[in-house]
Structure 1
Amino acid sequence: MKLLEIDLIDETEELATEKIQLVEDILQFAADYLKLPPDTELSVTFTDNENIRVINRDYRDKDQATDVISFALEEIGEGETEIHYETEDGVPRILGDIIISTERAAEQAADYGHSLDRELGFLAVHGLLHLLGYDHMQPEEEKVMFGLQKEVLDAYGLQR
């Protein structure tokens, strides 16, 4: 059973269909593993280093390419008003957007000595956890988030 409704957009028009399917499969697996409710939605956009650099610059004030960026719909930033979403039957929970640089993913897979599949899976799960409110700014947060990330990837079979 699919828990997530995922819009997958390949802006590069270069990513193999099986790589896109892998990202969908691991996100569906993670949704089940993390016990997300049915009717949860998100989008994943695959882009290149230049486009993610512009997004990183415009939204995070970091003028450099990065591997993954998440925009959580339910995220509460400093000075923002918290929004409470009612979870009525039949009304989807929209988590937000994950943007992955496939160029950076390939570079990091080579740097770390593992497969592109493993790197794409890692970045997808990392982005999903951010959408769910996990972070790694503080050592304790990092320990929790990275531990859960490893747990999901290992259970799926994408060990390093």
Structure 2
Amino acid sequence: MDITMEDETKTLTPEQMAAVTDLLDYAAGYLKLPADTEMSVTYMDDAAIHVINREYRHIDRPTDVISFALEEEGEDELPIIFDDDEPMMPRNLGDIMISLDRTQAQAVEYGHSFERELGFLALHGFLHINGYDHMTKEDEAEMFGLQKEILDAYGLKR
């Protein structure tokens, strides 16, 4: 999988970023995604994610993770349809934004490492850009169950 990572805060170590890449590669294999699948992860602070949350979700506060799925059709959007004889472009899942301020605070609150919380949030956003959600009890059970299954299989337990 091709993952573009950007740390706007310049605080993550190369090892922390590589660990997230490895986890998301593992999750992509778990979901049997094509090898040429693309996505991005941007790490930011609370102030930056607050702006995005307010602008796109109309929620005026910072949050831990925001996902923008490119394959999800919005209102009044038409699906993109390719001819069968056209070469297929790599599948681009979308973008994940993670607040490192929230990551640190939640790691302390939940009593586990920063790295575990970072992996959890990255996987949570990854599942969102793959069509999973938790708006209903049934969807929540499916998404959170899969999230736990992948984290446990990968070895990133609480």
Asked if these proteins are the same fold (TM beyond 0.5), I'd say yes
What is the alpha-carbon distance in structure 1 between the residues aligned to residue 38 and residue 102 of structure 2? 25
Q: How far apart are 1:34 and its partner, in Å?
A: 1.1
Structure 1 residues 86 and 121: alpha-carbon distance in aligned structure 2, compared to 1, 3 A threshold: farther
Query: Is 2:63 aligned against 1:66?
Result: yes
What is the alpha-carbon distance in structure 1 between the residues aligned to residue 118 and residue 39 of structure 2? 16
Q: Is the 8 A contact 1:47 1:99 kept in 2?
A: yes
Which runs of structure 2 are paired with 1:114-129 in the superposition (5 Å)? 114-129=112-127
Structure 1 residues 32 and 85: alpha-carbon distance in aligned structure 2, compared to 1, 3 A threshold: farther
Q: Give runs of ≥4 in structure 1 deviating > 4 Å.
A: 84-90
Query: Is 2:103 aligned against 1:105?
Result: yes
**% same residue:** 59
Please provide the CA RMSD for this pair. 1.7
Show CA shifts across 1:74-120 (max 9, x none): 01234433334679766210111000001100100000001111111
What is the alpha-carbon distance in structure 2 between the residues aligned to residue 85 and residue 34 of structure 1? 24
Aligned partner of 2:29 in structure 1 is: 32
What is the letter of the counterpart of residue 143 of structure 2? Answer: M
1:44 to 22, 41, 50: 41
Aligned residues: 157
Structure 1 residues 85 and 61: alpha-carbon distance in aligned structure 2, compared to 1, 3 A threshold: farther
Question: Which TM-score applies when normalising by structure 2?
Answer: 0.93
In structure 1, stretches of 5+ residues that fail to align are none
Question: Which TM-score applies when normalising by structure 1?
Answer: 0.92
Aligned partner of 2:91 in structure 1 is: 93
